[in-house]
Structures are given as structure tokens and as C-alpha cells.
Chain A
């Protein structure tokens, strides 16, 4: 017997509208409490749910695929009854699982399902804000396979990577989890509503320590539900098993059976599951795990990488994208998609770098001009290369003229007089009015002298 830790993770799906109505699901952007509500999400008599939000369906199915779940042929929505002011109808709609038996980071995923979020009840003020009510949640339930907080951290980091790749999570809204912990000799204890990854780890730490200590003192650890105190980092008892409410689960008569037929799946699921794709990035392009993870964190960036790596050296492309490009994007709080940079633009930039028609410094400058002023990279690279060509041509012409005008210096040089070279370089610089790098000019003069021979 070892410590057994399981998680029920609630992810806010990144959709425009709520799960069953047209109200905005971006509740953090609401101008004031109860401004993004309708008859349904305030529980008015006679209000009915609309069909299930198509974006929430898509994201929920893609997460199930990413976790390697078996997909169900359809789902039913159930009503979970309880009286609490945050619940507009005093029941919550929660679906039967649409995916089961997945796994991630050595943790078995029992199931995942859609449900609606309740509103936000302010106990002290006695007010409720229903802007959040009806926001689409995805609940991911693991088996109690997590060994310790470090394992939980690794698992959650990996989950975060998948959610980022799928752009599935309304990130600003955070992530909530119920944490189940049992230690040898004790029963399962559930810690409800833990907000954020860090708190999940703290809650696990605290519970393992608390329960182990209780057992060692000879105190029983019975089945109960506890509350996590974020400020103090400890848990407190909410209710024991005997006090558990009867939710009277019942199929929602307002919502028909929702089929998830193969046709829907084929147009919804990704052509390649994210983790399989990451493995392929590692093997096919020789990328390190961390590198592949970074590139795949934003799907459009990964797509761009693949397009570029088909014609350009993958290692150079990967390095540029994850160091230079992501660095510049990050500094501006932009995503690759939001930047609007096209694969054609990146092809021009990386080809220019490869052919040395632009320098890395110039590439960075062009990237910044693109991000800050919208100047096309294709055009920028072309102009830079053309300018460079013009400059080289001018140097060449000046060298030819200077050598023709100074036959004496040429003779001296040939006779082995080193100062003659400096004279000729000076003559070229004078013709160019100093608008050239001396080392470039010196090389050009030496080359010109060699040609005369």
C-alpha cells in the first residue's frame, strides 16, 4: 500500500459563448456583475437550454483524443440537484463521459465530461454574479495513480502542454481541481475546489502529511470532504460521508441524447494526436523533448515549423522559431497566430539568413519592424539583399577605377611594398566617401590586385 492521489480537474473551455446559451463565456471581461446573463443562466421560469455549444464539443473531443481516451458514441446530460445560491436552477447540468480510459504521464484517465459552471456567490455580501453561470467546463477525472506532489506537478505540466496545444483553456479563468488523497491505513479524503496548479501541490503536500501523522498517532482517517484554505495552505473539514447530499441525478428532459457519430469525429479530431506528433518531431527532426514541446505549445507555430523544415534545415528553423521568434512575440504578449506572420515570410527570412544575404542582426531588426510596424518580411529581406548587392557593386567599381588611376602604387605593391596596399584602400575609401567598411574594401582591393595578375 502506498499513497494514492487522484485528481478531478475542471478546465474552463475557451469558447465564445456559454454551454447552453448565447451569452458570452468570457466572464472575466464582463463590465459589471450580471451583465452577461439571460433568462436561462439566471434560472427564469420557462427558460430552456439551447443545443450544446459546438466549440465546447470540439475542444472537449480534442482533449479526449489528446489523452488517448476511448470516445463514446454519444452523451446524455444529467441534472445534479442541490440548493445553493450560485446555481440558477438549483441543479447543474453535467454530461455522461464522452471519453474514458486514457492516460497521461503514467496516470490513467478514468473519464472526462462536459458540465456547466455555477455563478459566483459572495458569502459575505450575500450577492451572486451569474456572469459565470453556464460557462463550459471540462472535467477530467484521473485514477488515483499519482505518487507524490512531484508526480502531480509533472502530470499537470503535461496536461497544461496539451491544453495549450489545443488552445482549449480559457487560461485567465484558471483551473480548479478536487484532490483525492488516501494514505495506507486510511480512507479516501477529498479536498474540494482547489484553485490553480500551485495550490493543488500544496493541498496534496498538506493532506499526505496530515493523514500520515494522524495514522501514526493511531487516529482513524475516515471518508470525508475537506476545504482548502488558500491563505494558510491547510485543509479543513467540510462534511463526512454520512453528511453527503443526495444529488438525485436525473436525465435532463430538456436536452436530447447527443450523438458523437464518426462523421462528427472525423471533422473534429486532429489528424495526429498531440503526443504522437511531439514524438515524431523528436525523431524526424532530431529535436530535444523541451524544444519539441515549446514548438508544439502553439499549434500554428508547430504547423509553420513543419512547413519550413520541409525545405530548410530543421535545426536552424527550430532554433530561430523558439529563440528569436518566440522571444520577440513573448516580449509583445503576442501569439504566433495573433502576429499574422505567414510561412512565406518566415521562408524568406530564413532563406536570406541561410544564403547570408542578411545577417542575424538584420533578421532581428526586420522581425521587430514586422511586429511593430507591420512591414512585410518578404519585402524587408528583398530590400536588404538588394541594398547589399548595390553596395558590393559600388565597391567593385571604385576598386577598378582606383587601380587604373594609380599604376605606380600597383607596381609598388607588386614589388612587395606593403604600404602601397594601404594607399590603394585609402583611394577607394575616398571614392566611396567613406560609406563602406574598411575591411570589406581591403578585401576587395586585394581581390582586384589578384585579378590584374
Chain B
């Protein structure tokens, strides 16, 4: 198939986008690019890009009314690399507003519907990225992961996803949620697709100083031996997890054991405060990052007498979850409270990182379910922020600890279930190799 034929097929499968997966479709632009897509490892491959990543000349809304009409004046490093490798960007995908959410429902432009069951959420915040792959529109998608933002939609939509090690993938061009925890992250129909994306996306970038020490991503050579592989299984990973999720995950673990892996029970005591620490850091960093959206340079400019009033009006269009996080983040970093809140959260992050470091001396990887439950119904949790936050309980620890984590869809009846693995920092290639085994043994046969 030629690049142009692939674009046409993707557009045909997308149709009128019944899932609200895309906020912007670049149909003509994609056709034009397909005609002159450069040769490369991703030549002619159609990809979707989450709408919190900058692509020069395309709208970038971050699913917020504030940025409606904003066109990015530059291109994110990861997108630049994808295009240089021959990939064609079909459009920008839906997300929770400024990536603040776990279900995709906080988008100012309406929730993304789960292609497996349109009455249910797609998971967030990379909701459109997950749906664009699950619906078969594209094979590869770029999302971002701050506390599980590609793994949640991966798990809910039945798509593979990887949250890479910090410093491996450039964040240049990724609008901030919590800078210290996040990175652009690949989503794909298969684990092989994740590897292809990582080969193009990863590597040092002078425009993101945190990637200075990164080495290029090299896929695991040969087959990863399961013989003697030590898989840590913290019981805490199964606490409060619904049976329909726990059962297939345990079955997948048993299949790995049957192939020679050793299952090891491990303790991660810091897990019980990981979720609270994660959200405090998220608020604090997010409030800082959101300072720039004041309507002065770009974005919605509010009416008002004087500068302060106009800036306040410009910010009044943020949705409730965004406002909640800005307020809480400002509170926990204010002069008199920062030690009690932000300071403690930083210490907790350190404790989680130490816990993981210790446990990775005992085992090679950690495994368990990605989400505590399968995709829930639209509207089921929106009224209760704490219930929404609770869905991230199994994913946030990897971001706090600064380790890679991936999800593989399991072969199940009904709604998809994700199998999550985490490895030591920098073990991304090995982790993908292991995910390949899970896919082969227990996955949705590609």
C-alpha cells in the first residue's frame, strides 16, 4: 500500500469520528505529506498526535477553551522525528483538558467514547490516542504519560502503551501537566508498534536538558529468556482490584511462570501514600506551568478593566478540574504551607523511588493489573474527583519512582483488561521484550 492509500484508509475508517477521538483532522495536509513522505523506518505510517503536543501550523488546544484557535508556531521534537522517519500525522487527538483527568471526560470539547463500548469512557488523559488505535484508524499514536495517561486508555481500550524512562524521550513541545513526572509516550495496536515508535522518538535532544544523558533506544536483541526471570508481584497491586480484572492478570502471570519465570512476592510500603503524593506534586507543578496562560501573548483574551481583571477573565474559561488543580497547587506551594504539603510530597516521592530501587535488587520486573477496573460508564465518576483520582492508584508509582512501565491488552471476554509491567530505570527495551512475551502468551492475537 502506498502512503496515500494508507491515509485514505485511515480517513475512511475514521469517517465522522463517532468516538470524538480527534479534535483536529488534517485530511488535506496528510494527503499532501503522503505524496512526499521521506523514506525512513516509518515511511507512510499514519499516526495520531495528542493535542497537547505542538505541531507547527496545526491547532493546539490541549482540549481547553482557553487555547481554542491557537496554532502552534513550532513542532515538538518527537513529532519532528516521526515526520523525518516518514510518518504522516493524521490529526490531533482528544484528551482531558490540559491532560487533567483519567477518563477523557474533562475535555472542553466533549468526552472520547470507548470504541469497544461507546457508552463507556476511553480512559485518560490520552483518550483520543487510545481510541484512534482501538478503532483501527491508526496503528500508532503518540500520547503522553504523567501518572498513567497512556496506560489508562491502553487498558480501557485494549491498546499497548509504554511510559518511557525519564530523560529518554524529549518533552520539548509537550504542554506541561507535571514536568518532573511526564514524557511523550507511545501507544500501538501491538508491542512491536511501541518498539518501532520508541526507536524513532527516543534519544537526546538539546532542547530538553533532562534528555542530555539519554542514550538512543536500542531494541532488545534476540528473544528475552523467561527462564529464571524474577517477576515481583506486590499484593498491594491487587488490593481493591475487581475480580474481572484480577483473574486474567493472575492467569497471565501463571503462563509466564509456566514458561520458566519466577514469581516473587514483594513489599512496597510506600505505595500507600503514592497516590496522595502524586496528586500534590501534580497540583504544584501544574499551577506553576499554568501561570503562562494569561491571554497576553496568545489564547483566549478576556475582557476586563485593567490588566489583572483581563488576565483573570482570560483564565476563567478553564474547566473545573483545571481550576481545582491550579487552586490546590497554589495553596500547597504558598509560603506558609509549602513545607507542610509540597515539601512532604517531595519527600514521599523520594521514599517511593527508594522503595523501587530496593525492590529491583530483588526482582527484574514488577507486574500486575494496569487499572483496578475496566472502563467505566461515562459520567459515573465525574462528580467525585477522589473516585476519579483513585483509578490511577496502580499507575502513578512508576512516574514517582522514575521507572518505565507498560501495559499489554489481555485476551478476555467483554471489556479489555490491561497487564502492567514496570522495570528499573533505563530497562525500557527489556520491558518491551517481556511485554512481547505477554502478548504472545496471553494477548489479543494480532
Query: CB distance A255 to B209 under 8 Å?
Result: yes
Which stretch in B28-36, B148-156, B174-182, B235-243 binds the other chain? B174-182
- Interface residues in B287-319 (C-beta closer than 8 Å to A): 288, 291-294, 296-298, 307-308, 311
The 8 A CB mask of A329-365 against B (1 = contact, 0 = none) is: 0000000000000000000000000000000000000
Residues of B within 8 A of A46 (CB): 52-54, 60, 72, 76, 171-176
Query: CB distance B291 to A81 under 8 Å?
Result: yes
Residues of A within 8 A of B285 (CB): 250, 253
Specify the chain B residue showing the minimal Cβ separation from A43. Answer: B292
Query: CB distance B74 to A44 under 8 Å?
Result: yes
Interface assignment of A254: CB less than 8 Å from any CB of chain B: yes
How many angstroms between the C-alpha atoms of A83 and B73 in the bound complex?
23
How many angstroms between the C-alpha atoms of A42 and B334 in the bound complex?
26
Which one of B60, B72, B73, B335 lies within 8 Å of A246 (CB-CB)? B335
Query: CB distance A45 to B292 under 8 Å?
Result: yes
How many angstroms between the C-alpha atoms of A9 and B21 in the bound complex?
53
Residues of B within 8 A of A81 (CB): 288, 291
Residues of A within 8 A of B171 (CB): 46, 48, 254
Which one of B54, B212, B334 lies within 8 Å of A45 (CB-CB)? B54
Taking A248-B288, A248-B330 as contacts, is the C-beta distance between A254 and B73 under 8 angstroms? no
Query: CB distance A47 to B291 under 8 Å?
Result: no
Residues of B within 8 A of A250 (CB): 284-285, 288, 333, 338, 342
The 8 A CB mask of B135-179 against A (1 = contact, 0 = none) is: 000000000000000000000000000000000000111111011
How far in angstroms is the closest Cβ of chain A from B31? Answer: 26
Candidate in B76, B293, B296, B308 with the most chain A CB atoms within 10 angstroms: B296
Interface assignment of A233: CB less than 8 Å from any CB of chain B: no
Query: CB distance A88 to B291 under 8 Å?
Result: no
Query: CB distance B54 to A90 under 8 Å?
Result: no
How many angstroms between the C-alpha atoms of A49 and B292 in the bound complex?
15
Interface assignment of B267: CB less than 8 Å from any CB of chain A: no
Residues of B within 8 A of A44 (CB): 54, 72-74, 297-298
Taking A45-B60, A83-B291 as contacts, is the C-beta distance between A248 and B334 under 8 angstroms? yes
How far in angstroms is the closest Cβ of chain B from A229? Answer: 22
Residues of B within 8 A of A39 (CB): 54, 73-74, 173
Which one of B70, B206, B297 lies within 8 Å of A43 (CB-CB)? B297
Residues of B within 8 A of A255 (CB): 209-210
How many angstroms between the C-alpha atoms of A248 and B174 in the bound complex?
24
Interface assignment of B208: CB less than 8 Å from any CB of chain A: yes
Interface class of chain A by DSSP: loop
Interface assignment of A50: CB less than 8 Å from any CB of chain B: yes
The 8 A CB mask of A50-66 against B (1 = contact, 0 = none) is: 11100000000000000
Candidate in B67, B291, B294, B330 with the most chain A CB atoms within 10 angstroms: B291
Residues of B within 8 A of A413 (CB): none
Query: CB distance A248 to B335 under 8 Å?
Result: yes
Taking A88-B297, A90-B294, A246-B335 as contacts, is the C-beta distance between A50 and B209 under 8 angstroms? yes
Query: CB distance A79 to B288 under 8 Å?
Result: yes
How many angstroms between the C-alpha atoms of A255 and B171 in the bound complex?
12
Residues of B within 8 A of A161 (CB): none
Interface assignment of B13: CB less than 8 Å from any CB of chain A: no
Candidate in A81, A90, A246 with the most chain B CB atoms within 10 angstroms: A90
Residues of B within 8 A of A48 (CB): 171-172, 207-209
- Interface residues in A29-51 (C-beta closer than 8 Å to B): 38-39, 42-51
Specify the chain B residue showing the minimal Cβ separation from A130. Answer: B297
How many angstroms between the C-alpha atoms of A165 and B221 in the bound complex?
56
The size of the chain B interface, using a CB distance under 8 A, is 45
Specify the chain A residue showing the minimal Cβ separation from B54. Answer: A46
Query: CB distance B294 to A83 under 8 Å?
Result: yes
How many angstroms between the C-alpha atoms of A52 and B54 in the bound complex?
23
Residues of B within 8 A of A261 (CB): none
How far in angstroms is the closest Cβ of chain B from A122? Answer: 13
Interface class of chain B by DSSP: loop
How far in angstroms is the closest Cβ of chain A from B68? Answer: 13
Which one of B73, B176, B206, B311 lies within 8 Å of A50 (CB-CB)? B206
How far in angstroms is the closest Cβ of chain B from A341? Answer: 38
How many angstroms between the C-alpha atoms of A413 and B234 in the bound complex?
124
- Interface residues in A246-273 (C-beta closer than 8 Å to B): 246, 248, 250, 253-256
Query: CB distance B62 to A45 under 8 Å?
Result: yes
- Interface residues in A57-113 (C-beta closer than 8 Å to B): 79, 81, 83, 85, 88-91
Interface assignment of A128: CB less than 8 Å from any CB of chain B: yes
Residues of A within 8 A of B52 (CB): 45-46
Taking A45-B60, A45-B175, A248-B334 as contacts, is the C-beta distance between A50 and B297 under 8 angstroms? no
Candidate in A42, A48, A253 with the most chain B CB atoms within 10 angstroms: A48
Residues of A within 8 A of B296 (CB): 85, 128
Specify the chain B residue showing the minimal Cβ separation from A39. Answer: B74
Query: CB distance A254 to B207 under 8 Å?
Result: no
Taking A248-B338, A253-B180 as contacts, is the C-beta distance between A42 and B311 under 8 angstroms? no
Query: CB distance B210 to A256 under 8 Å?
Result: yes
Residues of A within 8 A of B67 (CB): 45
Residues of B within 8 A of A79 (CB): 288
Residues of A within 8 A of B60 (CB): 45-46
Residues of B within 8 A of A256 (CB): 209-210, 212
Query: CB distance A253 to B179 under 8 Å?
Result: yes
Query: CB distance B292 to A89 under 8 Å?
Result: yes
How far in angstroms is the closest Cβ of chain B from A246? Answer: 5
Candidate in B175, B178, B209, B298 with the most chain A CB atoms within 10 angstroms: B209
How far in angstroms is the closest Cβ of chain A from B101? Answer: 18
Closest 7 CB pairs of A and B: A253-B180, A90-B291, A253-B179, A45-B175, A51-B209, A89-B292, A43-B292
Q: List 16 A-B contacts (CB under 8 A).
A: A38-B74, A45-B52, A45-B175, A46-B52, A46-B176, A47-B172, A51-B209, A81-B288, A83-B294, A90-B291, A91-B288, A248-B338, A250-B284, A250-B338, A253-B178, A256-B209
Taking A79-B288, A248-B330 as known contacts, 14 extra A-B pairs with beta carbons closer than 8 A to each other, sorted by chain A number, are: A39-B54, A39-B74, A43-B297, A45-B67, A46-B76, A46-B176, A48-B209, A50-B208, A50-B209, A83-B308, A250-B285, A253-B285, A255-B210, A256-B210
B interface list, Cβ under 8 A from A: 52-54, 60, 62, 67, 70, 72-74, 76, 171-176, 178-180, 206-210, 212, 284-285, 288, 291-294, 296-298, 307-308, 311, 330, 333-335, 338, 342
A interface list, Cβ under 8 A from B: 38-39, 42-52, 79, 81, 83, 85, 88-91, 128, 246, 248, 250, 253-256
